[in-house]
Amino acid sequence: MKTICVTGGNGLLGVKLLAEASGKYALVSVDLQKGPLFEFEQMEYVQGDIAQSEEISDIISGIRPDCVINTAAFTYVDRCESEKDSAWKVNVEGAMNVAQACRSLNIKMIHLSSDYVFDGENGPYDEESKPRPISYYGLTKWESEKEVAKILDDFIIARTTVLYGYFPGIRPNFVTWMIDQLRNGKSVSIVNDQFGTPTLADDLASALLILFEKDKRGVFNTVGNELISRLEFAKKIASIFDLDSNLINETTSERLQQPALRPLKGGLKIDKIKRETGFMFSSVSEGLETIKGQMAKKDSFYKK
């Protein structure tokens, strides 16, 4: 049985990967916390920090997995503007540390990146589009891509965006935050001029495992198949979860004044992954219906 190591195993994508791979692979989850969020079949948990080069090197050399999927990242986009050292250490140096450990043992690495590597002037983008980040978070992800490609031959850069999903105990994402706000009668201001391709975490986990199994290499866009504004996304959440859409106030990026600039016309094209793997990502409505079903089942939805 092959072994997959997931860094950031207690995050949304990490736990979805572990759930999807459970029973098919031996698993090692690596994260900063003392213990795992959930115990999956044939899973070992190791406390570790990708930003510590010797530590992550020792962990990977001790495991000798067939693939390391690096989901660990500093993903607080606005905080990246004020905590640049931390963002760089995790997103760039951390990715380099994992890549160097993989190189020494001829291990495949799948590294997660973002459509924030683009400026959002002409999206959605394909894999050949030229990156031009406009935020520090985007810069760190672009630099991490370049470093991984420089260090390794056997790698996949998986770009994604607006990742959403449900798992008990996971920190809020856009969808779960919206549901919580509206259920509690709180009004929210959502921008109408930021467009992206929201990605169900369950789909992304499945796509990454397929890319590994098919032994693909290079850059792949791994996102949902629908380009939509944040405002329309919010309205679909309200509709599918039977919440009050009147609590959603329309605004613009200029009025909202977020610390980090966002790509306005962002999102990614997925022709390449569809052509090379046949994998089909969910539409926004399909993804939200999936989450609705998972929430109705509460803690039992991930059991096979």
At how many degrees (to 10) do helices 136-151 and 95-105 cross? 10
Provide the pLDDT for residue 5.
Answer: 98
Query: 302 pLDDT exceeds 60?
Result: no
Burial of 260 (0-12, 13-18, 19+ CB in 10 A): middle
Span 107-156, pLDDT tens digits = 999 999 999 999 999 999 999 999 999 999 999 999 999 999 999 999 99
- Residue 2: what pLDDT? 98
Confidence of residue 299 (pLDDT cuts 50, 70, 90): low
What tokens does 96 get? Answer: 């380099």
For residue 26, CA distances in Å to 1, 2, 35, 261 come to: 6, 6, 18, 40
Q: How many CB atoms lie within 10 A of CB 134?
A: 18
CATH 3.40.120.10 given to domain 3-167+197-227+266-283: no
Overall average pLDDT of the 32-43 stretch: 95
Whether the pLDDT of residue 303 is over 90: the answer is no
Per-residue pLDDT of 152-192, as tens digits, reads: 999 999 999 999 999 999 999 999 999 999 999 999 999 99
Across the strands, what pairs with 114? 160
CA distances (Å), origin 259, targets 81, 142, 154 = 7, 19, 36
Per-residue confidence (pLDDT) for residue 301, from 0 to 100: 55
- Under the banding of pLDDT at 50, 70 and 90, the label for residue 21 is very high
Long-range contacts for 53-60 (Cβ within 8 Å, ≥24 apart)?
53/93, 53/97, 53/100, 56/7, 56/30, 56/94, 56/97, 56/98, 56/101, 57/97, 57/100, 57/101, 57/104, 59/5, 59/30, 60/5, 60/98, 60/101, 60/102, 60/105, 60/107
Closest CA to 203 of 180, 226, 181: 226
Helices (H), 89-220: 95-105, 136-151, 174-183, 201-213
pLDDT tens readout for residues 250-272: 999 999 999 999 999 999 999 99
From the list 128, 137, 37, the residue with the least C-alpha distance to 84 is 137
* Cα 221 from Cα 270, distance rounded (Å): 6
